[in-house]
Amino acid sequence: MGEQQQVQFPQEVIDEYAALGVDLPALFSAGHLGRRMGVQIVEASADRVVGTMPVEGNTQPYGLLHGGASAVLAETLGSVGSMLHGGASKIAVGVDLNCTHHRGARSGLVTGVATPVHRGRSTATYEIVISDEQDRRVCTARLTCLLRDVDLGGGAAAG
């Protein structure tokens, strides 16, 4: 499914995380599931996250892009945006995902674009539009993430 592309981050964001000893591109990857599905994050900021995923290998029995695959792409992109919004002192935990599937895709790549709907202190909501190679909308999703304080010892603070 190809080699994972390097995500492009603003230098000030990379520097903020590097000061804490965090490799930002590795932290904001698509993870094991995303890699297995061929998800590639090609642009990432709190204002806009863009990623692609192949249809091939992510279909349901009728040969169409699986709705769950669209959900994986949507949650990945919305989570990355939420994490970048929260900054180095927060982690984003998805609490609500809604996907409306508009049309099927049988081949090629789909592209998801996540943009913020709400960016607060404790939650962030992103709309994710997934389109096919002809720029036809395949799915519209909305993801809300809870922003939790990071325990600098290695995880989310209890709360």
Q: Which backbone phi and psi does 26 adopt, to 5 degrees?
A: -70, -40
Q: Which residue in the block uniquely carries the two structure tokens 């202190």?
A: 121
How crowded is residue 34: how many other Cβ atoms within 10 Å of its Cβ? 20
Read off the pLDDT of residues 20-66 as tens digits, 9 standing for 90 and up. 777 776 666 667 888 899 999 989 899 999 999 999 999 999 999 99
**Neighbouring residues of 138: CB distance < 8 A, sequence distance ≥ 6:** 65, 70, 101, 102, 103, 104, 105, 110, 130, 131, 132
Is 75 known to be catalytic?
Answer: yes
Q: What pLDDT, in 10s, does the model give residues 77-120?
A: 999 999 999 988 898 999 999 999 999 999 999 999 999 999 99
Annotated active-site residue in 3, 12, 75, 127: 75
